Amino acid sequence: MAYNLRLLPLIAVAVGGVIAVRAVGSIEAMPAFLKSATAWAEGAEKAKPEPKKDAKAEPKAVGDEGATEEAADAGSASGDDALSILDMASPAAAKAAPVCATSVEDLAKQAGMSPSELQVLQSLAQRRAELDAREKQIATQEQLIATAEAKLDGRIKQLTDLKGQVQGLLDEASKTGDQDVLRMVKVYESMKPKDAAKVFETLKDDVRLPIAAKMKERNLAAVLAQMTPDKARDLTEKLSQRMKKADDLQNKLDKATAPGAANQAANAPKPAANAQTPPQK
């Protein structure tokens, strides 16, 4: 009986060790090893010595034998449960890992489609990526164009302000010059025609022409009558040219400021590039 009691813990330890090794390793060789351990445990139970027939010790022996059988049954039951669990887990662990496709045909086969369909999908994905990149590029260009337009608008505003300032200065200078010319006109109109004629004959054109253009017709006629014929003719011709230039400039200004002038300028016919020049005499 003492030998049986010492053997049961060894059997339980052996069964537990086999179960632990089987759970960690998960390899195919463990079931055979566990079966051999179970067979060895069953053989050890069969090899137990028979108890001596003693009338006094018979009740105690029967009780010990019942406890030994119950412990053995419990150990074998736990071992069988562990074996069944490990046997169920072994096929899943033994399955081979999926192998990556090495060609387009294999990849199409794994995806459940033909190689042509797979190529179409790949081309569509590539086209999609190109369109996305193009869309990002267009968005970037639009941002750059918007930034450039904002800078251009700011520059145009600055130039417009500068133009207004320059125009104001020109108007002020022109007003001051006109006032000076009007004062000189009054001076020459108050002079005698003979004296004014002598002075006019000695003045430069950029001085006498503005004064003569502002003088009253009657006073200018009296001064021209006192000048020599050549000087009077020269002054008259230059005054006529001055008035013609002023009229042309005013007409151009009116056309430029008229509504639709920009469209007319854009639609105006351009001169021929191969126009023949008139022969020189």
CB-CB neighbours of 194 under 10 Å: 12
Residues 184, 154: contact at Cβ < 8 Å? no
Domain ranges of the chain: 2-51+65-92, 141-255
What kind and span of H or E run contains 86? Answer: helix 58-94
pLDDT at 180 over 80: yes
Query: 100-123: per-residue pLDDT in tens?
Result: 656 667 766 777 778 788 788 888
- One-letter amino acid at 212 equals A
The percent of residues in the chain predicted with pLDDT above 70, rounded, is: 58
What confidence tier does 134 reach under pLDDT thresholds 50, 70, 90? very high
* 3-state SS class at 172: helix
- pLDDT score at 59: 40
For residues 126 and 132, give the distance between their C-alpha atoms in angstroms, rounded to a whole number. 10
- pLDDT score at 156: 94
pLDDT at 207 over 80: yes
Helices and strands of the chain, counted as H and E runs? 10, 0
pLDDT at 142 over 90: yes
- Mean pLDDT on 154-173: 90
Average pLDDT, the chain: 72
For residues 48 and 89, give the distance between their C-alpha atoms in angstroms, rounded to a whole number. 35
Residues 6+ apart with CB under 8 A from 30: 18, 21, 22, 86
Tell which wins on pLDDT, 246 or 96.
Answer: 246
CB-CB neighbours of 138 under 10 Å: 10
For residues 15 and 33, give the distance between their C-alpha atoms in angstroms, rounded to a whole number. 11
pLDDT at 86 over 70: no
What confidence tier does 279 reach under pLDDT thresholds 50, 70, 90? very low
* 3-state SS class at 144: helix
For residues 50 and 120, give the distance between their C-alpha atoms in angstroms, rounded to a whole number. 82
Query: 230-239: per-residue pLDDT in tens?
Result: 988 998 898 8
Query: 230-278: per-residue pLDDT in tens?
Result: 988 998 898 888 888 877 877 887 777 766 554 555 555 554 444 444 4
Residues 6+ apart with CB under 8 A from 169: none
Residue 36 half-sphere exposure toward CB, CA atoms < 13 A: 4
Residue 209 structure tokens = 């022409």
pLDDT at 148 over 50: yes
Question: Between the CA atoms of 228, 231, 237 and 242, what dihedral angle is there, to the nearest 10 degrees?
Answer: -130
pLDDT at 76 over 60: no
What separation in angstroms does the CA of 94 have from each of 26, 30, 98? 8, 13, 12
- pLDDT score at 206: 86
Residue 87 structure tokens = 């046997």
Q: List helix spans (H) across 97-114.
A: 104-111
- Does the model's pTM come out above 0.75? no
What separation in angstroms does the CA of 216 have from each of 141, 182, 220, 231? 65, 11, 6, 19
What confidence tier does 151 reach under pLDDT thresholds 50, 70, 90? very high
Nearest CA-CA partner of 46 in 76, 23, 26, 91: 76
Tell which wins on pLDDT, 256 or 192.
Answer: 192
Worst-scoring range by mean pLDDT, 4-8, 166-170, 213-217?
4-8
